[in-house]
A and B are shown apart, each in its own frame.
Chain A
Amino acid sequence: MALLELEEVRAGYGPTSVLHGVSLAVPEGQIVSLLGANGAGKTTTLRSITGGVRWTGDIRFDGRSLRRMHTEDVVRLGIAHVPEGRGILTELTVDENLKLGSHLRRDGPAVRKDYDRVFEYFPVLRERRRLSASTLSGGEQQMLALARAFLMKPRLMLLDEPSLGLAPMIVRAIFEIIRTINGADRVAILLVEQNARLALDVSSEAYVLEVGRVAVRGASDELQGNESVRRSYLGY
């Protein structure tokens, strides 16, 4: 039984249907990529998991169905979702944003240690702790979002296009940290990315969505090696 299982999930916005039966699984501690063109339904898939959009079918986390659960309750089960746009609370300071990551935790000393690690990964956040989060650049906001998600000590992270709009160097740094978080803390990650190469590099398994359905799935290195798949679905 995988940590996260989606079974024949259909979802949409009002009369428009976006997902037409998506099934996938994220095993414990693994990074799984979700790829595909714009409009394929990647973001909708993530939003279904955390209850941001109505869905039918079944979504199970640790065996437990997420049907009809409110977003905040799904999150409290141990899922951190960094949405498209990063979800930074710009009215608050960097420190307050981070605090909202850890506010549900009761393990004081461990929280403090995690804070140290966060500032180790992202020193710029320590520098700008007291400043409003709106003063951060795009890359810094992505770091903040990741740091905050990490502080939630989730079992599963949903990342929606972490590389979007960022300079290559920053993207590299961020993906390094994604790898570290997964490695050191065994956090499973469902990674939505347009940059297929990056995603396949870091993940063990991948699914390619096309018009709301899974078109291709397989081990990441196999997909990377398969030229026809790369050309037809991944654009390189």
Chain B
Amino acid sequence: MQEFLQQVISGVASGGIFASLALALVLIYNAMGLVNFAQGEMAMMATFIAFTLITRGVSYWIAFPVTLAIAFAGGIAIQRIVIRPVERAPLLTLVIITLGLATLLNGLAGAIFGYVPRSFPSPFSVQTVDILGAFFSFRDLGVITVSAAVLLLIYLLLQRTTVGLTMRAAAHHAEASRLLGVRVSWMLALGWGLASAVGAVSGIMVAPIILLEPNMMQTIIIYAFAAAVLGGIESPLGAVIGGLIVGVTVNLAGAYLPFVGGDLQLAVALAIIIGVLVLKPNGLLGRPTVRRV
């Protein structure tokens, strides 16, 4: 029983990481109807930036928000430079562009930092704490806390502030928002900035666990896809719930299903994606959309 609980908590921690990246995907999807295939690589870049700061002596808890700010600015820059010129292009064009961006960022990271995996510091020790007979690692608990805090902040921003309101308005009703004086184009850029910052959190949380290297987010993004699809690609809350479910399921499958083991956990995510898309394409919290001719 205790072991089961430990696996669940560990799964919740992974879930927090997946949920953060999934939330980034949902933010951009809501703004543009586009799945940003470069989200993971953007997060990876941000994590490398955090690493650079930390190895130059900046304390973790200062490097963290500074990196988020840089990621925010980077997201805005990417939207202004790469996405805006092709705003009106068909969806497939935009998808291919995000793939190009992902490839570019991956190569850039490889060029600047090399492919040797590095260890990334975590402010939470790997020691475990005994709660009710089960052992939970500080790291897992720390990841859960940080992820929860970030997700809560995003929720408050979007739901309780004027900026969040105008962002949501611009995302769902661009034309009508313009008639209310909302600078829709800038709201889109803000969405990208926010998504980039949230994704960065995901990268910083996961780096201590899987080691920092340019390809590290390639599997995480698959989990994030599964989480977003499961929760409903338009629902921020769905991203969180989806993340938790994926995290726990994958962890339990790896621990208790012998044919899955460690290396086929990713295949579980693939199975979730295909299963959801075939059975309930709108996910748990999504709504069916009307197809326009």
Nearest Cβ in chain A — how far from B50, in angstroms? 35
Contact of B182 among A80, A100, A148 (CB under 8 A): A100
How far, in angstroms, from A103 to B182 measured CA to CA in the complex? 9
Query: Can you name the residue of chain B whose Cβ is closest to the Cβ of A95?
Result: B165
Contact of B180 among A52, A90, A91, A148 (CB under 8 A): A148
Taking the complex as formed, is A36 at the interface, i.e. its CB lies under 8 A from any CB of chain B? no
Taking the complex as formed, is A152 at the interface, i.e. its CB lies under 8 A from any CB of chain B? yes
Contact between chains at A72 and B178 (CB < 8 Å): yes
In the complex with contacts A72-B184, A91-B172, A91-B173, A50-B165 CB distance below 8 A: no
By a CB distance below 8 angstroms, the chain B residues around A81 are: 179
Residue of B177, B179, B183 contacting most chain A CB atoms (<10 Å): B179
Contact between chains at B172 and A100 (CB < 8 Å): no
By a CB distance below 8 angstroms, the chain B residues around A89 are: 169, 172-173, 176-177
How far, in angstroms, from A103 to B170 measured CA to CA in the complex? 14
Taking the complex as formed, is A12 at the interface, i.e. its CB lies under 8 A from any CB of chain B? no
By a CB distance below 8 angstroms, the chain B residues around A96 are: 165, 169
Taking the complex as formed, is A57 at the interface, i.e. its CB lies under 8 A from any CB of chain B? no
Taking the complex as formed, is B215 at the interface, i.e. its CB lies under 8 A from any CB of chain A? no
A-B contact count (CB 8 A): 59
Taking the complex as formed, is B289 at the interface, i.e. its CB lies under 8 A from any CB of chain A? no
Q: How many residues of A contact B (CB 8 A)?
A: 24
Contact between chains at B168 and A91 (CB < 8 Å): yes
By a CB distance below 8 angstroms, the chain A residues around B165 are: 92, 96, 99-100, 103
Q: Mark B255-290, 1 if CB is under 8 A from A, else 0.
A: 000000000000000000000000000000000000
Contact between chains at A152 and B180 (CB < 8 Å): yes
Nearest Cβ in chain B — how far from A11, in angstroms? 17
Contact between chains at A75 and B181 (CB < 8 Å): yes
By a CB distance below 8 angstroms, the chain A residues around B182 are: 72, 100, 103
Query: Can you name the residue of chain A whose Cβ is closest to the Cβ of B183?
Result: A72
Query: Can you name the residue of chain A whose Cβ is closest to the Cβ of B176?
Result: A87
Contact of A103 among B166, B168, B172 (CB under 8 A): B166
By a CB distance below 8 angstroms, the chain A residues around B176 are: 83, 87-89
Taking the complex as formed, is B127 at the interface, i.e. its CB lies under 8 A from any CB of chain A? no
Contact between chains at A71 and B179 (CB < 8 Å): yes
How far, in angstroms, from A104 to B181 measured CA to CA in the complex? 8
By a CB distance below 8 angstroms, the chain A residues around B168 are: 91-92
How far, in angstroms, from A152 to B173 measured CA to CA in the complex? 18
How far, in angstroms, from A191 to B168 measured CA to CA in the complex? 30
Q: Which residues of A contact B (CB under 8 A)?
A: 50, 52, 70-72, 75-76, 80-81, 83, 87-92, 96, 99-101, 103-104, 148, 152
22 A-B pairs within 8 Å (CB atoms) are namely: A50-B179, A72-B182, A72-B184, A75-B178, A76-B181, A81-B179, A83-B176, A83-B179, A87-B175, A89-B173, A89-B177, A90-B173, A91-B173, A92-B169, A99-B162, A100-B165, A100-B166, A100-B180, A103-B162, A103-B166, A104-B181, A152-B181
Q: Which residues of B contact A (CB under 8 A)?
A: 162, 165-166, 168-169, 172-173, 175-184
- The 4 tightest CB contacts between A and B, nearest first, are A87-B176, A71-B178, A91-B172, A75-B181
